[in-house]
């Protein structure tokens, strides 16, 4: 920027600071100064008095606007304090919310684990349901065991009878054979005796 | 970007070449750095790109806005040629980034990785049966309890490498076809592996042998013979396991080895993971699917790639609520989801 603009900026800055929102205060003070000089130079008593009254009213207007500005400044200060307080509160609640979020995330993990266990249980339960009930199977096993015992008893007794009959038949058959043998022996003996008798008959005298 | 380009190519052709490269790029693997601020992505040309993704410091509105403001930083900070072949898998420990490709695994220091011309710390090859084999390493898994790294891939074995000494301690055999994916079961120190042969095998690390085999395709409820029997993705939650691929995506209860829920998704899924009470899966098709354990589809969030191959969650312990999900696949873009409900923005190679 050109060096001549420097003091111009300063002037603009000062004027904006003095009366930035154009409420007419600056104009009023200038008017007051001009009217004071006019009043000093006024001629007649009435004009001077009316001008004096006008100056007093302008002055009171300036005082009024000054009072208003002071009140606004006070209010702004208090607003800022209020905002600081609210800001701190919100910060605390944000931190609290963060913690709650972390807590909830842990709970989510826990819940997911529980859900997983639940599902695993459900899946296994389905598989187990396919297989028949254990009590029924045990009962069936018991019944079959008893039947098996019963049948084996019958088998034993039948075998025993079979053996007994075998032995009895064996005894019978061997007795028959012996008898046969005895009869044959007797027959042979009697034949021999007959043969001896006939040979003695045919050969009587030496 | 460093790549093999003849030096006499004129500028127009170079741009065309770059554009063609980006068009045909597939991002196979992603990994977050231990501090959570960087994402590494590996593609089919063997390059690894590091993107800066700074986490919001507190989960509040201002943080969400700040992550929007990072729109202009969608390009990687640094890109380097890591392997000659594709980078199929990456994992990260506190200080190192491990990347695996065709037959070899390399280690990089996170502290050095941002500097230009960074060199790998070491490059090792697991002992293959014949020296002619160079099978790809499809999956890497860190076992923090015994400070070791498990590699699995084309040679159908799981190799364990001790991170302190660098020696390969075990080779677990059992799979009859190559292995796609690995998962770690925390409670009992077991590793699950899923492969092309359609089985999911559980291996006990202390006894170094196979504990259980689940033949997924043999179960009628989940098998889909028209897709094949390959298992493309695995995730486990100690008691439960999700696997998918050729057969439908299914939730299994490991102790009873029964399939409990079949997720009604016709497309084969390539990556699945447990997250809070949901199961996230992605595969053919541009969406990341969110399932509840009962089989209901809770949400389907579309991404920007036509197919997705990997999902990664930022599991930084410092801010467990601010998790970020990234998804990448058949394109040069990595989608970032800050809230699981929508795609926030995309990073691009």
pLDDT tens-place string over residues B64-116: 445 555 544 578 888 888 888 899 999 998 888 999 988 889 999 988 887 77
Q: Does A120 touch chain B (CB under 8 A)?
A: yes
Per-residue pLDDT, A202: 73
Q: Which residues of B touch A (CB under 8 A)?
A: 59-60, 239-240, 251, 253, 256, 258, 260-261, 276-277, 292-294, 320-321
Domain layout of chain B by residue ranges: 127-262
Per-residue pLDDT, B61: 38
How far apart (Å, rounded) are the C-alpha atoms in residues B6 and B14?
10
User: What region, left, alpha or beta, does residue B215 occupy, with left being phi > 0 and alpha being psi -120 to 50 degrees?
Assistant: beta
Mind telling me how many Å the CA of A124 is from chain B's nearest CA? 7
Chain A residues touching residue B253 (CB < 8 angstroms) = 123-124, 127
Residue with tokens 């039947």: A147
How far apart (Å, rounded) are the C-alpha atoms in residues A166 and A154?
18
Pick the residue of B219, B260, B263 with the most A CBs within 10 A to test the interface with A by mutation.
Answer: B260
Report CB contact under 8 Å: A123, B261: yes
Report CB contact under 8 Å: B277, A112: yes
Per-residue pLDDT, B150: 92
Of chain B, the end-to-end C-alpha distance in Å amounts to 9
Going by C-alpha positions, the residue among B103, B88, B18 that lies closest to residue B48 is B88
**In chain B, pLDDT over 90 holds for what percent of residues?**
29
Helix axes A25-40, A5-19, angle to 10 degrees: 90
Q: Topology of domain B127-262, per CATH?
A: Methylamine Dehydrogenase; Chain H (2.130.10)
Per-residue pLDDT, A26: 81
Residue with tokens 């390399």: B106
The answer to whether residues B179 and B153 touch, using CB atoms and an 8 Å cutoff, is yes
pLDDT tens-place string over residues B245-273: 889 999 998 888 888 889 988 888 999 99
Going by C-alpha positions, the residue among B317, B348, B312, B334 that lies closest to residue B31 is B312
Q: Does A91 touch chain B (CB under 8 A)?
A: no
The answer to whether residues A116 and B238 touch, using CB atoms and an 8 Å cutoff, is no
Report CB contact under 8 Å: B277, A127: no
Per-residue pLDDT, A62: 87
pTM of the model: 0.70
Which segments of chain B have a pLDDT < 50? 55-65, 71-72, 321
Q: How many residues does chain B have?
A: 349
How far apart (Å, rounded) are the C-alpha atoms in residues A129 and A6?
94
Nearest-by-CA chain B residue for A105: B321
Which segments of chain A have a pLDDT < 50? none
How far apart (Å, rounded) are the C-alpha atoms in residues B85 and B104?
10
CA dihedral B226→B231→B233→B235, nearest 10 degrees, is: 120
How far apart (Å, rounded) are the C-alpha atoms in residues B34 and B27?
21
């Amino acid at each position: 920027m050109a060096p001549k603009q420097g003091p111009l900026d300063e002037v603009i800055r000062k004027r904006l600071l003095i009366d930035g929102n154009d409420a007419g205060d600056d104009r009023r003070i200038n008017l007051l100064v001009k009217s004071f000089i006019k009043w000093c130079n006024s001629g007649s008593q009435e004009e001077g008095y009316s001008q004096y009254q006008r100056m007093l009213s302008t002055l009171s207007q300036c005082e009024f606007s000054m009072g208003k500005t002071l009140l606004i400044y006070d209010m702004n200060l208090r607003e800022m304090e209020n905002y600081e307080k609210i800001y701190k509160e919100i910060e605390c609640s944000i931190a609290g919310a963060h913690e709650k979020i972390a807590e909830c995330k842990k709970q989510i993990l826990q819940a997911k684990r529980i859900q997983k266990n639940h599902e695993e249980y459900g899946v296994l339960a389905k598989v187990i349901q396919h297989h028949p009930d254990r009590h029924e199977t045990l009962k069936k096993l018991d019944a079959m065991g008893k039947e098996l015992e019963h049948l084996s008893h019958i088998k034993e007794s039948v075998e025993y009878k079979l053996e007994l009959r075998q032995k009895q038949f064996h005894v019978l058959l061997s007795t028959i054979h012996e008898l046969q043998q005895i009869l044959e022996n007797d027959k042979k003996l009697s034949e021999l005796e007959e043969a001896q008798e006939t040979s003695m008959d045919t050969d009587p005298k030496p | 970007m460093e790549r093999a380009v003849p030096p006499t190519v004129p500028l127009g052709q170079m741009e065309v070449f770059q554009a063609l490269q980006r068009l045909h790029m597939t991002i196979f693997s992603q990994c977050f750095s231990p501090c959570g601020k960087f994402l590494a992505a590996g593609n089919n040309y063997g390059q690894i790109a590091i993107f800066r993704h700074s986490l919001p410091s507190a989960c509040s509105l201002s943080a969400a806005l700040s992550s929007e403001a990072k729109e202009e930083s969608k390009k990687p900070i640094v890109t380097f040629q890591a392997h000659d072949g594709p980078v199929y898998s990456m994992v990260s420990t506190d200080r190192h980034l491990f990347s695996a490709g065709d037959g070899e695994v390399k280690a990089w220091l996170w502290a050095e990785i941002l500097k230009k011309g960074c060199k790998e710390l070491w490059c090792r090859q697991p002992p293959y049966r014949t020296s002619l084999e160079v099978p790809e390493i499809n999956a890497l898994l860190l076992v923090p309890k015994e400070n070791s790294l498990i590699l699995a891939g084309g040679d159908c074995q799981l190799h364990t490498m001790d991170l302190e000494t660098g020696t390969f301690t075990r080779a677990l055999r059992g799979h009859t076809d190559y292995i796609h994916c690995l998962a770690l079961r925390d409670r009992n120190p077991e590793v699950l592996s899923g492969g092309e042969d359609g089985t999911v095998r559980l291996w006990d690390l202390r006894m170094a042998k196979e504990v259980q085999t689940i033949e997924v395709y043999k179960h009628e409820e989940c098998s889909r013979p028209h897709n094949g029997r390959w298992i493309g993705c695995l995730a486990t939650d100690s008691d439960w396991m999700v696997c998918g691929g050729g057969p439908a995506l299914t939730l299994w209860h490991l102790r009873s080895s029964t399939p409990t829920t079949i997720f009604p998704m016709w497309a084969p899924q390539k990556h699945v993971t447990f997250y809070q009470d949901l199961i996230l899966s992605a595969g053919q098709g541009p969406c990341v699917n969110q399932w509840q354990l009962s089989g209901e589809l809770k949400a389907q969030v579309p991404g920007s790639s036509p197919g997705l191959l990997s999902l990664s969650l930022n599991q930084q312990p410092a801010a467990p609520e601010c998790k970020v999900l990234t998804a990448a696949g058949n394109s040069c873009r990595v989608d970032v989801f800050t809230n699981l409900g929508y795609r926030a923005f995309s990073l691009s190679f």
